[in-house]
Amino acid sequence: EEGHEGLTHFLMNEVIKLQQQMKAKDLQRCELLARLRQLEDEKKQMTLTRVELLTFQERYYKMKEERDSYNDELVKVKDDNYNLAMRYAQLSEEKNMAVMRSRDLQLE
């Protein structure tokens, strides 16, 4: 009887140990699942942030292209303005010379 009781007691202790191990494993599993969900949420957020950043980057490059285009146009307009000013000065000089020649001719 005593051997039978000892074996029963031993087996009960082993069952209790296994139950505790199962509880620990279940707890660990729950913690890992919670961590997995957290990481999945972080991944979703990072994906959204990445898409947002790519959109901003695309907008930045478009705006940069527009600015470069406007800058090129501005340089062209400035060059045209300079050429017109030079042409105006030249014509003004020619007009003055013509007026002076006309006066000289009138004085003769």
- The model's pLDDT over 27-84, given as tens digits with 9 standing for 90+, comes to 999 999 999 999 999 999 999 999 999 999 999 999 999 999 999 999 999 999 999 9
Q: What is the reported pLDDT for 1?
A: 62
Q: Say if residue 107's pLDDT is above 90.
A: no
Mean pLDDT score, 21-30: 98
Q: What's the domain range around 24?
A: 1-76
- For residue 69, being part of any structural domain is answered with yes
- For residue 96, being part of any structural domain is answered with no
CA distances, 47 to each of 38, 54, 105 (Å): 14, 10, 86
Task: Tell me the C-alpha distance between 72 and 85, whole Å.
Answer: 20
Q: Which ranges of 1-108 would DSSP assign to H, the alpha helix?
A: 2-107
Q: Total structural domains in the chain?
A: 1
CA distances, 59 to each of 38, 55, 56 (Å): 31, 6, 5
Its pTM stands at: 0.57
Task: Tell me the C-alpha distance between 21 and 15, whole Å.
Answer: 10
- For residue 60, being part of any structural domain is answered with yes
Residue count (the chain): 108
- For residue 19, being part of any structural domain is answered with yes
- For residue 92, being part of any structural domain is answered with no
- For residue 36, being part of any structural domain is answered with yes
